[in-house]
Amino acid sequence: MTIYRKVILAALILAFGVITLGAYVRLSDAGLGCPDWPGCYGKLTPQNASEAIDAALAVRPDGPVSHAKAWKEMVHRYFAGTLGLLILVIAVLAWRGRRDMRGGVALPLLLLGLVVFQALLGMWTVTRLLKPLIVSSHLLGGMATLALLAWLWFRERGRSGHVYYADTGHLRDPALLGLALVIAQIALGGWVSTNYAGLACPDFPVCHGAWMPPMDFEQGFTLHRRLGETATGALLPLTALTAIHWTHRVMALLVTLYLGWLVVRLLRSPGYAGMGLAIGVLLALQVSLGIGNVLFSLPLPVAVAHTAGAALLLVSLVRLNYRVRRR
């Protein structure tokens, strides 16, 4: 394995770790553990900022700042910064070897641009006080980084040998639609999480004892607003949170039905049974974790695992789409 491929693989694994760690930071309310960026009260580590953290705790003992939360936030930044450096190395190596790059350097350069934008979103997440649109965009940017790194890895790994694939024209459109649906569901899941609407429907399968509870879609899906507030600054009503959560459930049902059909089709297609089985297992896991989040009142390990499962399901659909388009 060349150095270039090793760096891509390391970045791919780290990107998954950063997404999972980011979910842990968000779900443990540590997103403002360090209220500035990129350091913590202007320091490199929370240890060096201990006096400032103690002062913040003296003012607001139950506030968003604590030593534990500061370390969670900064560890996430350390990992994200390392990922950014790895992607920079990927772009540099790709540019230096561009004459021998059969796939071109567009994808590595796109990844570099994306990770720079991700850094800006990370900064705005803190400076704009966890504004839902920015936090959701940051999550989607992380998922996009993971997906592009996965595509780059599959592309580079596929060059290690000559592999023949049977005609896959009948799977291209279904695979692409499956990927699009998963991306849409991840976006909705991010909107649920960043608005803290995970328990807006505390029962299952109904919501507040009804299939169609009172909901305020206009307020729930107004993008430009502060966390927990309407566009006019009023407290965001429960009906708005219910609309967010209910929409995510309905979309989950649609995605489950479609991917279930796709899995059956893959199992019946020569050479794709393994991929179909993998997608089916990940889908079943995601559905179970989603239901578990509601039934057990959003336990932190289950909620974090739900985000990690979404990332793995996304990679499995990226792999499928790469495979059915390869000649």
Catalytic residue list:
73
Residue 18: name the closest of 127, 145, 184 by CA.
Answer: 145
How far apart are the C-alpha atoms of 252 and 258, rounded to whole Å? 10
Q: Is the peptide bond before 108 cis (omega within 30 degrees of 0)?
A: no
Angle at CA 281, nearest 5°, toward 280 and 287?
Answer: 90
How far apart are the C-alpha atoms of 293 and 301, rounded to whole Å? 10
How far apart are the C-alpha atoms of 17 and 86, rounded to whole Å? 14
Q: Is the peptide bond before 205 cis (omega within 30 degrees of 0)?
A: yes
Q: Please give the distance of CA 145 from its chain centroid, rounded to a whole number.
A: 9
Q: Which residues, in sequence order, are bridge partners of residue 101?
A: none
How far apart are the C-alpha atoms of 255 and 252, rounded to whole Å? 5
